Amino acid sequence: MNNQPINWTQALATAVKAARAAGELMRRNMRSIKKVNSATRHDIKLELDVRCQKLIERIVRAVYPQIAILGEEGVLGDTQAGHRWVVDPIDGTVNFTYGIPHCCVSIALQTRKAERGARNHADAHYETVVGVVYDPFCDELWTALRGGKAYLNGKQIRVSNRKRLGEAIVTIGFAKGPATLKRMLPVLNRLAHRVRKVRIMGAAALAMTYVASGRMDGYIEAGISLWDIAAGGLILERAGGDFWREPIPGEHKFQLVASNGRLRRPLLALL
């Protein structure tokens, strides 16, 4: 089954079911005392992250038992096979831990592309065909299928048409380590002098979907993980936006510039 064609519409419905279930678990636990599994200078891992991923795994594997899962909280199966789910059970865990209701569930289905010459980065062999991002606190569900449109709660969305950085709202992230912080602080300084407003909101998948919805015009980060951007990247592209990313050292790590397409070049120049 893992190397056979999949009905993407059915896969989308399964991903939506899983995202809503995990989102409900997040809602029920928002005000509860959080059990921290680990904490670093710039990141937190919760016991609830693991519970949410296990819930997602049960739901998608009930329908697709042979498809691997590449998740922030662990891996199931062969993630280099023909298909794989890419899951971030709680994107914005630090926000969630502090009681800030700006976080979401991100689920993507990726398929292995036909080989087109040598590629030295494993993730380059895959493309996202199903994307789901669910914000349980605003009850906002973004969805997209490759070749189709992007939707927010069933209504089609489009990126903004702003062409000038001086009119743009751009969000930026700093990932989790000192190297990315050192890399992105000068970018923040350059950005702040060029755009209308900078936002630092702490949930990459929502940054992607906010650009897709025209709420923001661009998003820049280095050191972001695949599971943070796989679903949102497809949603952004199907909303008419641009999703530039380049692998950097570290497993499933990227630098990226996501935009409405019109601002790609000036934003890349700042990175």
Domains of the chain with bracketed CATH: 8-156 (3.30.540.10), 165-270 (3.40.190.80)
What Å distances lie between residue 21 and 52, 141, 203, CA to CA?
8, 12, 19
Contacts of 65 (CB under 8 A, 6+ apart): 1
Residue with token string 């592209």: 237
Return the pLDDT at 118.
Answer: 43
> Rounded to the nearest 5 degrees, what angle is found at the Cα of 194, between the Cα atoms of 100 and 135?
25
Q: What is the mean pLDDT of the chain?
A: 92
Query: Which residues lie closer than 8 Å to 155 by C-beta, 6 or more apart?
Result: none
* pLDDT tens-place string over residues 64-99: 999 999 998 889 999 999 999 999 999 999 999 999
Can you tell me the distance from the alpha carbon of 142 to that of 106, in angstroms, rounded to the nearest whole number?
Answer: 10
Residue 120 has what pLDDT? 58
Average the pLDDT over 113-133 and give the result: 79
Segment 233-250 mean pLDDT? 93
3-state helix, strand, coil in the chain (%, to 5): 35, 30, 35
Which helix (H) or strand (E) segment is 54 a member of?
helix 47-63
- Residue 244 pLDDT exceeds 90: yes
Query: Is there a contact between 35 and 48 (Cβ–Cβ < 8 Å)?
Result: yes
- C-alpha closest to that of 220 among 177, 249, 166, 184: 184
Secondary element (H or E) of residue 204:
helix 204-212
Two tokens, residue 8: 């993407």
Q: Tell me the torsion sign for CA atoms 31, 37, 39, 44.
A: negative
Region 53-69 average pLDDT? 97
Query: How far is the C-alpha of 78 from the C-alpha of 231, rounded, in Å?
Result: 20
pLDDT digits (tens, 9 = 90+) for 125-166: 899 999 999 999 999 999 999 999 999 999 999 999 999 999
Rounded to two decimals, what is the model's pTM?
0.93
Angle between helical axes of 226-238 and 204-212 (0-180°, round to 10): 10
Number of other CB atoms surrounding residue 41 within 10 Å? 8
Cβ–Cβ < 8 Å for 231, 106:
yes
Q: Which residue has the tokens 């636990």?
A: 29
